[in-house]
Amino acid sequence: MTLTQDAPVRTDAITVEGVSRSFGSVKAVEDATLTVPRGHVTALIGPNGCGKTTLMLMLSGLLRPDAGEIAIAGHDPRTDAAAVRAEIGWMPDQLGSWDNLTCLQTLTLMGEAYRIPRATARARGMALLHRVHLEEFADRPARVLSRGQKQRLSLARALVHDPAVLLLDEPANGLDPRSRVELRDLVREFAAEGRAVLVSSHVLAELDEMVDDAVFMSKGRTMGEHAAAMVADARLKYRVDALDPAALQEALSRGGVEFEPTATGAITRIADEANAAQALAWLIRQGVQVHRFGPAGSALEQTYMAMNEERR
């Protein structure tokens, strides 16, 4: 299964249509619809308990949906669960490791569980440990790892069989800032290798630079078009701060620019970077003393907050 060479024409690695699942009376996922193309990173964003993990379990072929259609690289988990599981690299949100075994042993045995010959599995295990910067822990038992290190071991474990689809359930939890940046780069690399990546998280600032798409979830439902529009809109927003906010706002009104006034300046919508450069030049020409000019922060975070859904 070499991703780059014989990737099928089909581009959507994950398609989900109207999926639901309840546990007794708890409706964990009510109506989820999303697609993730190959080579794309999609974020799954939502408050605690909105059903992200449950949705990922259904995608990975561990949990049977009550209703709806799922296809992973063209396989249906209801009829072909083993094929689905073979395609998927799953990093669970629950950190589990074999405490007695070393990191390299863990990855080797896991590779063997995917029917990779032992020597190859061991070599790949070592390569993966390098990739997640755990090489110095190769021969130490997993119980000595810190939370963030276990998280990275778990990521390496998801990759032993070179999966076409990666499901990362809150991978940034417990990572220090440096590791988060590394994680972001790794996730982009995975996508560049042609894998489809679905990342769930509520650490939104990191996601912004990591993902191509975002799917918002609330109370078991994916938000679809509405949320996508909100993200697109949020991406347009620029924050402009001037030494004299009143003068800035007056100049904008005079120029017929729509804006939301803030205490230190204004928030306005600008289509792209060329437009932004022009807008800034225009403001300076108007004599506005701009001291800050840039995107208005994380688009995902703004959308998340704007969705204004209460936590469960």
Q: Which residues bind ligand ADP (CB under 6 A)?
A: 23, 26, 28, 46, 48-54, 312
Rounded distance, CA 267 to CA 292, Å? 11
Task: Tally Cβ neighbours within 10 Å of residue 226.
Answer: 10
Rounded distance, CA 171 to CA 92, Å? 8
Q: Does 109 bind other proteins (CB under 8 A)?
A: yes
Length of the chain counted residue by residue: 312
Strand partners, 201: 45
Q: Which one-letter amino acid corresponds to residue 35?
A: T
Tokens 């509405």 locate to: 226
> From other proteins, ligand ADP, Mg ion, none, which one binds at residue 264 (CB under 5 to 8 Å depending on kind)?
none
**The only residue of 57, 156, 187, 296 in contact with other proteins, by rule CB under 8 A:** 57
Taking the least distance from each CB to ligand ADP, the nearer of 195 and 221 is: 221
R_g (Cα) of the chain, nearest Å:
23
> From other proteins, ligand ADP, Mg ion, none, which one binds at residue 237 (CB under 5 to 8 Å depending on kind)?
none
Strand partners, 22: 27
> From Mg ion, other proteins, ligand ADP, none, which one binds at residue 51 (CB under 5 to 8 Å depending on kind)?
ligand ADP
Taking the least distance from each CB to other proteins, the nearer of 132 and 230 is: 132
Dump the DSSP string for 113-124.
HTT--HHHHHHH
> Which residues of this protein are in contact with Mg ion, per CB under 5 A?
53, 93
Taking the least distance from each CB to other proteins, the nearer of 92 and 220 is: 92
> From ligand ADP, Mg ion, other proteins, none, which one binds at residue 115 (CB under 5 to 8 Å depending on kind)?
other proteins
Strand partners, 261: 266
Chain center to CA of 170: 8
Number of residues located near other proteins, criterion CB under 8 A: 57
> From other proteins, ligand ADP, Mg ion, none, which one binds at residue 28 (CB under 5 to 8 Å depending on kind)?
ligand ADP
Letter string b/e over residues 9-34, b meaning 16 or more CB atoms within 10 A of that residue's CB: eeebbbbbeebbbeeeeebbbbbbbb
DSSP letter for 310, please: P
Closest listed residue to residue 210, CA positions, set 238, 172, 243: 172
**The only residue of 10, 11, 26, 82 in contact with other proteins, by rule CB under 8 A:** 82
> From ligand ADP, other proteins, Mg ion, none, which one binds at residue 147 (CB under 5 to 8 Å depending on kind)?
none
Which string of x and - marks every residue 251-290 that binds other proteins (by CB under 8 A)? ----------------------------------------
Tokens 């975002």 locate to: 214
**The only residue of 160, 215, 231, 300 in contact with other proteins, by rule CB under 8 A:** 160
Tokens 């070499």 locate to: 2
* Smallest distance, ligand ADP to C-beta of residue 181, A: 24
Q: Which residues contact 117 (CB under 8 A, 6 or more apart)?
A: none
Strand partners, 294: 239
Taking the least distance from each CB to Mg ion, the nearer of 76 and 93 is: 93
* Smallest distance, other proteins to C-beta of residue 78, A: 8
* Smallest distance, Mg ion to C-beta of residue 58, A: 13
Specify the 3-state DSSP secondary structure of 100. coil
Residues that bind other proteins (CB under 8 A): 1-2, 23, 53, 57-58, 60-64, 77-83, 85-86, 88, 90, 92-101, 105, 109-116, 119-124, 126-127, 130-131, 135, 157, 160-162, 169
